[in-house]
Chain A
Amino acid sequence: MSIPGKRNVLSGLKVSAAMRRQVVRLPQEASLEQCIRQCIKFKINAVLVTDAAGSPLGVVSKTDLMGAYYADLPISTPLSSVMVGPPIFCRPDDYLESALDTMYSTRVHRLYVRPGDSEPVTGVLAYPDIVGLLYRFCRNCEMSVFQRRPERDEDQMRRAISVREVMTPSVVSHGDTQSLVEVMEGLSAYRFGAVLIRNRADLPVGVLSKSDLVLAYMRGMDPGTRAAAAMASPVQSCDVDEPLSGAIQRMIFSDVHRLFVHRRDPAQVIGVLSLTDAARARSGSCHACVSSRIRVDQTS
Chain B
Amino acid sequence: MGITARDVMDTHYHTLSPRDTIAEAVNLFRRASRKEGKRIFGMMVTDDDGHLRGMLSMYDILLFMRPKHVHIWGEMEDIELGGLLETAFKKARNIQVGDIMSTDLVTVRPDTHLMMVLDVMIKKHVRRIPVLEDQRIVGMIYISDVFTFFFKDLSRGDPDRT
Cα A136 to Cα B76 in complex, Å, equals 9
Contact (Cβ within 8 A) A37 B103: yes
Q: How long is the Cα–Cα vector from A139 to B94 in the complex, in angstroms?
A: 32
Determine whether A132 belongs to the interface, using a CB cutoff of 8 Å to chain B: yes
C-alpha gap A218/B98 in the complex (Å): 9
Closest A-chain residue to B75, C-beta based?
A: A136
Residue A255 CB within 8 A of the other chain: yes
CA of A41 to CA of B57 in the docked complex: distance in angstroms?
A: 12
- CB-based contact A253/B100 at 8 Å: no
Q: Report B-chain residues with C-beta under 8 Å of the C-beta of A252.
A: 69, 72
Q: Which of B60-68, B114-122, B141-149 contacts A (4 or more CB under 8 A)?
A: B60-68
Distance (Å) between the CB of A135 and the closest chain B CB?
7
Is the beta-carbon distance between A255 and B91 smaller than 8 angstroms?
yes
Give the Cβ gap from B153 to chain A, nearest Cβ, in Å.
38
Separation of A219 and B101 alpha carbons in the complex (Å): 13
Chain B CB within 10 A, most for which of A33, A218, A219, A253? A253
Q: How far is the CB of B74 from chain A (nearest CB, A)?
A: 10
Give Cα A128 to B96, complex, Å.
26
A156-186 interface mask toward B, CB cutoff 8 Å, 1 = contact, 0 = none? 0000000000000000000000000000000
How many Å from the CB of B91 to the closest CB on chain A?
A: 7
User: How many whole Å from B62's CB to the nearest CB in chain A?
Assistant: 11
Q: State which size class the interface on B falls in.
A: 20 to 34
* A233 and chain B: residue at smallest CB distance: B94
Contact pattern, B 68-102, Cβ under 8 Å of A = 1, otherwise 0: 11011101100100001001100100111011110
Q: How big is chain A's contact interface, by range?
A: 20 to 34
In the bound complex, CA of A113 to CA of B103 (Å): 28
Q: How far is the CA of A253 from the CA of B71 in the complex (A)?
A: 11
Choice from A34, A40, A254 contacting B103 with Cβ under 8 Å:
A34
Contact B60 A41, beta carbon cutoff 8 Å? yes
Task: Tell me whether A219 and B69 are in contact (CB under 8 A).
Answer: no
Task: Closest B residue to A257 by CB, please name it.
Answer: B68
Which B residue sits closest to A34, measured CB to CB?
A: B103
How long is the Cα–Cα vector from A258 to B91 in the complex, in angstroms? 15
Asked if B72 contacts A135 (CB within 8 A), the reply is yes
Q: Is A232 an interface residue (CB 8 A)?
A: yes
Does A43 count as interface, using CB distance less than 8 angstroms?
Answer: yes
What is the 8 Å Cβ interface bit string for chain A, positions 228-241, against chain B (1 contact, 0 not)? Answer: 00001000000000
Q: Select one of A41, A128, A135, A253 contacting B64, CB under 8 A.
A: A41
Which partner residue on chain B sits nearest A26 by CB separation?
A: B104
Q: Does A215 count as interface, using CB distance less than 8 angstroms? A: yes
- Complex contacts, B72 vs chain A, CB 8 Å: 132, 135-136, 252
List which B99-141 residues lie within 8 A (CB) of chain A. Answer: 99-101, 103-104
The answer to whether A42 has its CB under 8 Å from any CB of chain B is: yes
Contact assessment for B64 and A255 in the assembled complex, using a CB-CB cutoff below 8 Å: no
Within the complex, which residue of A42, A136, A232 is in contact with B94, where a contact is CB–CB below 8 Å?
A232
Q: Is the CB of A40 within 8 A of B94?
A: no
Instruction: Answer whether A37 and B73 are a contact pair too, CB < 8 Å, given A43-B68, A128-B68, A253-B84.
Output: no
Residues of B within 8 Å of A135, CB to CB, are 72
Do A255 and B68 form a contact, CB below 8 Å, given A41-B63, A136-B75, A139-B76? Answer: yes
15 examples of A-B residue contacts, CB within 8 angstroms: A33-B103, A37-B100, A40-B100, A41-B63, A43-B64, A139-B75, A219-B96, A252-B72, A253-B67, A253-B69, A254-B84, A254-B87, A254-B88, A255-B67, A255-B88
B residues with a Cβ closer than 8 A to A are 60, 63-64, 67-69, 71-73, 75-76, 79, 84, 87-88, 91, 94-96, 98-101, 103-104
